[in-house]
A and B are shown apart, each in its own frame.
Chain A
Amino acid sequence: MQTDTKRSVRRQVFRAMGTSVVLITPEDVDPTDRDRALRVVEEEFAEQEQRFSRFRADSELSVANRAEARPTRVSGPFAALVGRALRAAAATDGLFDPTVLPAMVAAGYDRTFEDVIVTAREVLRPPAPTGRWREIVLDLDLLTLPEGVGLDLGGIAKGWTADRAARRAADIVPWGLVDAGGDIRTFGDLPPDGIEIGVEHPFDAQVEVLRLSLTHGSLATSSIVRRSWGPNLHHLIDPRTGRPAATDVVQASIWADTCVEAEVNAKVALLRGVPALGDLAATLVLEDGSVVTSMPVAA
């Protein structure tokens, strides 16, 4: 655990969903409340990881993906996130696609990232078709996936869990943030001048691309660099091609009210490139190292 004396905050770190999760709370919070907040955040991540992990055979997601076109009864939270993912797919005209799992597996990301990088492969298998989210039927708690379709809710589940965990922590401590591997959700009444967040350079985490101040909402950062396992092999599938995206944007940071929204738009911004700056509060790092932002600049 680390304390930032300049900002008088306390950082508590644990691992979940294949990444580090950080809970940041004010230093002057009652230690009992801080520990209680950490417990509920940890519980939330553990519960949702068990529900949405595609690397656990007994997860609700794995069970649904094995159903082979038969209707599957799913839990309320599962149905809620699938519904949210389908709405995001419709809103982005399929640029966000929760059915890219077969394409991702075809690209080589068929095991946990740690295993993928150990046995990295050079040659892509033929791309699997994507865009089949339109064929998914969700009728209350009854989910039917078409034959050959698998859901991957990894990124959006992480953001969604950060949103839920932050709401629960807000009942215990006055303010803070939950940072789940690049998905940041603030909660409570933050200091009036906001909290400062440095955006790391995708090629060198020691270099700060920009310093941002958040007074509320969420910030999600997505990159094609950090989870890459070979030349042009990374986890961001372009639904238009079924292959890892060929994009000149290597990192996108998006601000939005919720972490789910920011997470979805970060993926979309990587695919859309600079035009995404017209309607998203975004900071993009381009392949040539240049940085473009549409976030407002402090006076």
Chain B
Amino acid sequence: MDANTKKKRLSKKTVRAIAWAAGGVAFAVPWVTLQFVPTATSSAQGTTSPQVIVVPAGSEVTVLSGPSGATGVKVIRSSATTTTTASAPTVKSAPVTTTGASAPPP
């Protein structure tokens, strides 16, 4: 092969510089991309949909001393940690009924 047509090899220093630059770009691309992702907004803002507040199920239950006249009701189970010295025992049967606030018809 003719010496004049032989490709000139890049120096080690140049190759190293190119490698560092490529690595830097690869590292930066995801971070730059994230800057342009639109931030999430609350679904309740600016809409007429009912207010939705998401809370974790199985929340902590705190028991405070209440009035002494409540003779007809007792807590027999909580669905989560009960922070009281007298933890309610666990019962496994289904309740006679469940109750919540009055809801509109389905």
A residues at B contact (CB < 8 Å): 4, 6-7, 9, 11, 15, 18-19, 22, 24, 113-114, 117, 120-122, 158, 177, 179-184, 186, 194-205, 207-217, 219, 221-223, 225-234, 250-251, 253, 255, 257, 277-283, 285, 287-299
Which residues of chain B come closer than 8 Å to A277, judged between CB atoms? 64, 66
Assembled-state Cα–Cα distance A233/B52 (Å): 12
Which residues of chain A come closer than 8 Å to B100, judged between CB atoms? 182, 199-202, 205, 221, 223, 226, 251
Which residues of chain A come closer than 8 Å to B54, judged between CB atoms? 203
B95, A291: Cβ atoms closer than 8 Å: no
B104, A18: Cβ atoms closer than 8 Å: yes
Residues of B in contact (CB 8 Å), total 55
B89, A219: Cβ atoms closer than 8 Å: no
Which residues of chain A come closer than 8 Å to B73, judged between CB atoms? 212-215, 217, 219, 255, 281, 295-296
Which residues of chain B come closer than 8 Å to A222, judged between CB atoms? 101
**Nearest residue, chain B, Cβ from A222:** B101
- Interface with A: B3-11, B20-28, B29-37, B74-82, which one? B74-82
A255, B96: Cβ atoms closer than 8 Å: no
A15, B105: Cβ atoms closer than 8 Å: yes
Instruction: Write the B64-106 contact mask toward A (1 if CB under 8 angstroms, else 0).
Output: 1111011111111111101010111101011111111111110
Assembled-state Cα–Cα distance A287/B53 (Å): 8
B61, A210: Cβ atoms closer than 8 Å: yes
B75, A212: Cβ atoms closer than 8 Å: yes
Assembled-state Cα–Cα distance A24/B50 (Å): 32
21 A/B residue pairs, CB under 8 Å, sorted by A: A19-B102, A184-B99, A196-B95, A212-B74, A213-B73, A215-B73, A223-B101, A229-B48, A230-B49, A278-B67, A281-B67, A281-B70, A285-B59, A287-B53, A287-B55, A291-B59, A291-B78, A292-B63, A295-B70, A296-B74, A298-B88
Which residues of chain B come closer than 8 Å to A214, judged between CB atoms? 72-73
Which residues of chain B come closer than 8 Å to A117, judged between CB atoms? 50, 104
**Nearest residue, chain B, Cβ from A203:** B55
Sample of 9 further A-B pairs with CB below 8 A, known A200-B100, A296-B66:
A177-B96, A179-B97, A180-B102, A182-B100, A196-B76, A216-B72, A219-B99, A281-B67, A297-B75
**Nearest residue, chain B, Cβ from A183:** B102
Picked from B56, B61, B66, B91, the residue with its CB within 8 Å of the CB of A281 is B66
